[in-house]
Amino acid sequence: MSSAEILIIGSGPAGVSAAFPLVEAGVDVVMLHGGEKGKINISGENFLDLRANDSEQWKWMVGRDFHALKMSEAASPKLRAPSLSYVFKNFHDANQIQSDNFITLGSLAPGGLSNAWGCGVACLTDSELSGFPYLKDGLNISYERVGKRIGISGRIHDDLTDYFALDHLAEPPVEMDLQHSYLASNYAKHKKYFLANNFKMGRARVAVLTKDMKNRYSCNLCQNCLWGCSRGSMYSAKYDLDTLRSSRNFKDFSGFIVDDLNSSGLNWEVSGKFSDSGERRTFIANQVILAAGTLASTRLVLKYLGYRSPVKMLSSPTAAFMLWMPKLLGTQVKSGFGLGQLSFVLDLDANVSAFGSTFNSLGMPTSEFIKYIPIDRRNALNLFQSIATSTLIGNIFLPGNFTDASVYLDKKNILKITGGYKKDVHNLFERAYSILRKSYWKMGAIILPGSFKIAMPGSDIHYSGTLPMKKIPKIGESSEIGEISGMKGVFSVDGASLPLLLEKSHTFTIMANADRIGTLLAERLRN
């Protein structure tokens, strides 16, 4: 057996964010994580040059095992990218998770799902934090610490400055492409119209570098965002894991899958096995931090508590659409930034907002787009090849309380997730579509008929709220410092601990909350 003051399960954004204040305070920290690693390395060359000249491009476009073709039904193009297949590999089997009418994803890779995210970041405003059981000042301090560590871009005074509430932490934005510049220019010309019709637009705020930082480099607009950023411009928690490893009081065990927690006097026993050898091992810790992702963390808690009743889970309903700008037909093909460039916020009624972003279509396979064109595949392919450089892809999210999802642990200790949307969702998306259609038409863009598609529940991968922080937590809920009721000394810091899920990007808030809890635990141990 090995022992530690604090043991962290998971190396994703939440895990590393909790680790930093503890390690900096001199606390001995052990981290356990799945350790799945990628085998396909993408060159740092321009995407267009690679497509034209790389004779090995089939390896990262299709995959040696035809990964892209096998995953044809997956909701996100990230799941079809062979270079990212390792991120999601073996997660369900290792954590005994099954789902019904709900997309479930997780990661055993160092850095977790941040190896394949859209890098969108936002802070919660003071009014939004009213749903959290602690004073906002602690989280604001943590937002600042995390923001400086990961690198954020998008700082500009626009109509979404107050919504994102983080420009004081950000560098200037990544350079916009011609298509997005066209939209932004037309938005500025008719701003009064848009604001009067419940539509606001501004630059996306993303965890992407526009200025070099340590061993990471600024975005060079190579358009390889989907396939893997060789420059480290896009933040991943794996970079923080490398930094933590340089500290003497930090140690991680890669390739270790935790499957059991048990209390032992004043300590906790954390048991599992190494995935490569099958060797079982138990670690002893004074305190345990759960950061394995909402699904895996929830399963460990429910199993220890023997809790078999359904537990509510939050997840944001999401949809996607395709934009065409007729006046840009025939635009020259040019590499650029492959993540969100412009974001928008819609006020759907007095209490409900929607959030989304638009993306350049160049760095994705043609097959990702012809499904949005409501004609047969051959003609859709011909049409898209003609209009590709004048198109953009958009997504949109609703608040997480509009998904009707729950998790429960069955008698075999399998975590089962069932999902669906509440009855208001389709009406809200219809209202959103109406606002978007009119707004983009005013900007000179058309939402292609039939392209606005609502995704399956869970497609957002924003799972949260199963172990929510409460002022007075019940069994299975967590306190304002993330301590699980009924599991003294065990703390939840990932999405499971969030008491609410808004439409805006939530990963930055998870990281700040984990930093806040790690800081409070460090102070408690020092005292």
Give me the sign of the Cα torsion angle 338, 430, 131, 135: positive
Q: What is the pLDDT of residue 71?
A: 60
> Which string of b and e fits 118-152 if b means at least 16 CB within 10 Å?
bbbbbbbeeebbeebebebebbbebbbbbbebbbb
Question: How far is Cα 403 from Cα 454, in angstroms, rounded to an integer?
Answer: 13
Q: Write down all domains in the chain, each with its CATH number in brackets.
A: 1-36+89-151+235-310+464-527 (3.50.50.60)
- In this structure, what token pair is assigned to residue 346? 């819609």
Q: What is the pLDDT of residue 74?
A: 57
CA distances for 231 relative to 46, 244, 361, 379, 527, angstroms:
12, 20, 21, 38, 42
State which residues of the chain have pLDDT below 50. none
Q: How many other β-carbons are positioned within 10 Å of the β-carbon of residue 413?
A: 14
CA angle 69–71–75, rounded 5-degree value: 130
Assess contact for 447 and 322: CB atoms under 8 A.
yes
Assess contact for 283 and 270: CB atoms under 8 A.
yes
* pLDDT tens digit sequence for 28-68: 999 999 988 887 777 778 888 888 888 888 887 888 877 77
Query: Against a cut of 0.85, is the pTM above it?
Result: yes
Q: What is the pLDDT of residue 369?
A: 63
Q: What is the pLDDT of residue 61?
A: 80
Assess contact for 461 and 224: CB atoms under 8 A.
no
